[in-house]
Amino acid sequence: MEDKVSIPELAKRMKVNPSTVRRIIASESENLSLVLHQGKQNRHFLSRTDAEKLIAWYETRSGPVSTTSDAGTSYERFGFFYLIQLVPERCLIGSKLVLPIM
């Protein structure tokens, strides 16, 4: 029986969030010919060879991946945070300035 690697183990090794690994598997499973195995309690696994294929593909995109899984792994999280302030508009009715009631 071939060795299996869980999604959280793969995420720690790739230093990304487990949901990122799931999204990569969903989008690239056909290109990389990955076979996702389902275990007990709906846990998903990849075979060791499929995990190595996925890591090799990921390395070509983002750089080298560690060979060991550390307990103190930090995730790469990129994104933007927008702060929008809503300002009420002033209404002109006729020649009077009417402010909205708050």
CB neighbour class for 32 (10 Å; exposed up to 12, middle 13-18, buried from 19): middle
Other CB atoms within a 10 A radius of the CB of residue 6 amount to 17
Low-confidence ranges of the chain (pLDDT < 50): 1
- Entry pTM: 0.57
Q: Using DSSP bridges, classify how beta strands 96-98 and 91-93 pair: parallel, antiparallel or unpaired.
A: antiparallel
* Phi then psi dihedrals of residue 7, to 5 deg: -65, -45
What is 4-62's CATH number?
Answer: 1.10.1660
pLDDT tens-place string over residues 70-95: 555 555 556 667 778 777 666 555 56
